[in-house]
């Protein structure tokens, strides 16, 4: 315990200095932002995942074939969504390819009318053929599509009919909550250029996953200019973009920086102009001159400690008492103060606490009070049959309560504190730092059986059901978790009206902790003072829309 307290005291002192620095932050740019008018031109250099999480490299741009949030965020710059979801979970028809969605009286049929003004960069109109291409490719890819089955696409669809170039109808096998289907299902059907891609095999699509020449036909606000594997990706404005929000800047560069020191040095030297300020470097913020901040998040998702239930070496995680003990052993308020320098919020379930639209009464109570109770954690472990050995680690039937967690680069600060907290109740968590892409490769796929635990984050659809993650055999259930009661609750979410089904699923998850959920973090975005449009470019839900960014020009 003394070691943990000493570590926390040292970090907390630095955190207090950081808090003062943030409170005293210069805001001289705010007055200019109000008076200045947007101008066109200029280059902005940043990193992937700003406002979302610690950056990682971008590896591909095909929305059908990429799974990481960083790749999806980059692909989203090239292709306009069928349904644009706002930060308040509403549909903006001005920014959606689908101008109108007509729901049938029994909530089984959905007729989509597309806007006629949308164009591909080669001048061809965006039509229902492009939506159909996406839908049929998802069918063809099956489990290779990361979100297969999410929102009922294509698993709950009984017919998909093109009624004309700007009109199509989707009929479902059963009545569902329209909000669930639109926010989670239709959002997957981003139109893709059927004329340019229809003759491409899946093999060819994979072969050109990051080839700028392949992605020359786009309908989003940006086009892909160049890509250097492991180094950077550059975008330019799509001059043929038909939307109302054409980009102001003429070039956007995402540099692939990974460790906090490189990001801070990049800001300090001007090599990058926008980035999340790494929490552990808050005390040095005073060195950044000519910057202003914007705080966003937590993003619409959750941070977690996840386990491979199929790995016999950690069979103990199949016992809910052990997982619940971990939840009660972790003092989230301390993690927020020490790991995130106060920029965070408690979270114990699969539904993010902000906005609190889908938060159950139990989740609200835990957010207020916390679940930290090490005495209860020890009691639960004793009930599960685990007794302390001489070195303090618990043992049962010759097995010890030990596991190794994979941690992305630059993110060991929190896991070190969690490790010490778990040690107080007799659980030995060991840490292994690995590149993000390597963690993905080690933990995903049918042959990924050589891992025990991982420390990561997961993004959610706008309607927070997660059958693909926590359902038996779900497309993204890399944890091999399977609970029939959880399946039944998840299956009830799409069809039940209102939020009661979400609440039942949420509460059961909190009690079972299939993954141990950790605090959500707010992101402190540092941007050069002459860069404007941050509020619209970085949404509280983790969205990235750089078409709203612009650079002020000094008056002559």
What are the residue ranges spanned by the domains of the chain?
A: 37-70+201-295+524-551, 98-191
Q: Which two tokens stand for residue 554?
A: 């000094």
What are the CA-CA distances from residue 348 to residues 324, 366, 437, 471, 499 (Å)? 11, 7, 27, 19, 18
Total residue count of the chain as it appears in this document? 556
> Could you tell me if 138 and 154 are in contact, meaning their C-beta atoms sit under 8 angstroms apart?
yes
Cα gap 533→551, rounded to integer Å: 9
pLDDT value, residue 415: 96
For 68, which DSSP code? Answer: S
Please determine whether the domains at 37-70+201-295+524-551 and 98-191 fall in the same fold group of CATH. no
Q: Residue ranges of the chain with pLDDT lower than 50? A: 1-35, 555-556
**Dihedral sign of CA atoms 54, 231, 544, 276 in order:** positive
In 3D, which of 332, 337, 335 has the Cα closest to residue 367? 332
Assigned fold of 98-191: Dipeptide-binding Protein; domain 1 (3.90.76)
Q: Domain 37-70+201-295+524-551: give its CATH code.
A: 3.40.190.10
Q: Which residues does 422 contact at the CB level (< 8 Å), separation at least 6?
A: 326, 329, 330, 428, 429
pLDDT value, residue 1: 40
pLDDT value, residue 445: 66
Stated pTM of the model? 0.82
Q: Which two tokens stand for residue 105?
A: 């009286």
What is the 3 state secondary structure string of 88-132? CCCECCCCCCEEEEEECCCCCEEEEEECCCCECCCCCECCHHHHH
Q: How many CB atoms lie within 10 A of CB 460?
A: 21
pLDDT value, residue 447: 63
Q: Which two tokens stand for residue 430?
A: 């060991």
pLDDT value, residue 539: 79
Q: Which two tokens stand for residue 54?
A: 């610690």
Cα gap 268→253, rounded to integer Å: 17
Cα gap 228→216, rounded to integer Å: 17
pLDDT value, residue 459: 82
């Amino acid at each position: 315990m003394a070691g943990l307290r000493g570590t926390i005291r040292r970090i907390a002192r630095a955190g207090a200095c950081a808090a003062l620095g943030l409170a005293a932050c210069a805001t001289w740019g705010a007055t200019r932002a109000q008076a200045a008018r947007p101008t066109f031109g200029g280059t902005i250099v940043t990193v992937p995942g700003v406002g979302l999480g610690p950056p990682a490299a971008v590896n591909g741009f095909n929305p059908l074939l990429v799974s990481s949030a960083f790749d999806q965020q980059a692909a989203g710059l090239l292709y306009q969504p069928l349904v644009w979801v706002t930060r308040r979970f509403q549909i903006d028809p001005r920014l959606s390819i689908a101008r109108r969605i007509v729901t049938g009286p029994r909530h089984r049929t959905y007729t989509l009318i597309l806007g006629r003004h949308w164009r591909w960069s080669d001048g061809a109109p965006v039509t229902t053929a492009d939506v159909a291409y996406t839908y049929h490719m998802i069918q063809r890819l099956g489990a290779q599509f990361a979100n297969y089955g999410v929102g009922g696409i294509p698993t709950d669809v009984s017919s998909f009919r093109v009624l004309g170039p700007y009109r199509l109808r989707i009929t479902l096998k059963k009545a569902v909550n329209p909000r669930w289907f639109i926010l989670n299902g239709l959002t997957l059907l981003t139109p893709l250029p059927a004329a340019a891609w229809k003759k491409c095999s899946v093999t060819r699509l994979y072969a050109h996953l990051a080839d700028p020449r392949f992605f020359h036909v786009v309908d989003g606000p940006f086009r892909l200019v160049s890509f250097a594997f492991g180094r950077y990706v550059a975008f330019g404005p799509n001059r043929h973009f038909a939307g109302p929000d054409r980009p102001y800047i003429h070039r956007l560069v995402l540099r692939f920086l990974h460790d906090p020191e490189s990001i801070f040095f990049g800001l300090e030297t001007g090599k990058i102009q926008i980035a999340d300020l790494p929490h552990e470097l808050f005390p040095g913020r005073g060195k950044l001159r000519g910057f202003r901040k914007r705080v966003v998040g937590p993003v619409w998702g959750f941070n977690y400690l996840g386990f491979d239930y199929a790995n016999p070496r950690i069979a103990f995680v199949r016992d809910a008492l052990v997982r619940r003990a971990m939840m009660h052993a972790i003092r989230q308020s301390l993690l927020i103060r020490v790991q995130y320098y106060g920029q965070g919020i408690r979270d114990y379930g699969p539904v993010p606490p902000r906005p609190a639209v889908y938060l159950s009464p139990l989740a609200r109570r835990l957010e207020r009070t916390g679940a930290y109770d090490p005495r209860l954690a020890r009691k639960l472990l004793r009930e599960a049959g685990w007794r302390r050995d001489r070195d303090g680690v618990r043992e049962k039937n010759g097995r010890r309560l030990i596991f190794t967690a994979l941690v992305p680069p630059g993110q060991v600060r929190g896991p070190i504190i969690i490790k010490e907290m778990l040690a107080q109740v007799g659980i030995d968590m060991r840490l292994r730092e690995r590149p993000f892409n390597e963690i993905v490769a080690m933990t995903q796929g049918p042959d990924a059986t050589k891992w025990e635990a991982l420390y990561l984050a997961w993004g959610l659809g706008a309607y927070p059901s997660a059958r693909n993650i926590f359902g038996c055999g779900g497309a993204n259930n890399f944890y091999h978790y399977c609970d029939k009661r959880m399946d039944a609750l998840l299956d009830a979410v799409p069809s039940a009206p209102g939020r009661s089904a979400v609440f039942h699923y949420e509460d059961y998850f909190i009690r079972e902790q299939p993954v141990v959920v950790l605090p959500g973090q707010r992101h402190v975005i540092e941007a050069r003072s002459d860069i404007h449009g941050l509020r619209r470019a970085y949404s509280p839900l983790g969205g990235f829309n750089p078409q709203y960014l612009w650079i002020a020009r000094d008056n002559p």
